[in-house]
Amino acid sequence: MGTEFIQRVRERAYQLWEAAGCEHGRDMEYWFKAEVQIAAEQAAAQVQSPPQTTSVPTSRTSIDTETAVKPGDRGKTGGKNEIKTKIAPTVSVPRKARSSKKV
């Protein structure tokens, strides 16, 4: 934890303590509440303004399904049947289990 974070937690805990009527013996409760609030505020601020990053291409590509080669078109060239790839994030989806029976 950085010193700025601890200072913000200290100030928030004091504000919570004052708002609760300056009750003694509950200092840790106010400290933990303040930590949660400050951490949530920082997380929300990071989501709203993410740091500038450069685009790094991934090794995976996805196929543009509108212009992809169809099974019956294999071996043909040119025109609409060319495969076009573009960099896109992919999601891993578990495969359906195959039956062990042979047909």
d(CA 12, CA 5): 11
The whole-model pTM stands at: 0.46
What was the pLDDT predicted at 45? 87
Inter-residue contact 17 to 46 (CB < 8 Å): no
- Tally helices (H) and strands (E) across the chain: 2, 2
Q: Give the pLDDT score at 35.
A: 95
- For the chain of 103 residues, list the mean pLDDT of each consecutive stretch of 10: 90 94 92 95 83 60 53 58 54 59 60
What is the predicted pLDDT for the residue at 56?
59
Per-residue confidence (pLDDT) for residue 47, from 0 to 100: 83
* pLDDT at res. 1: 66
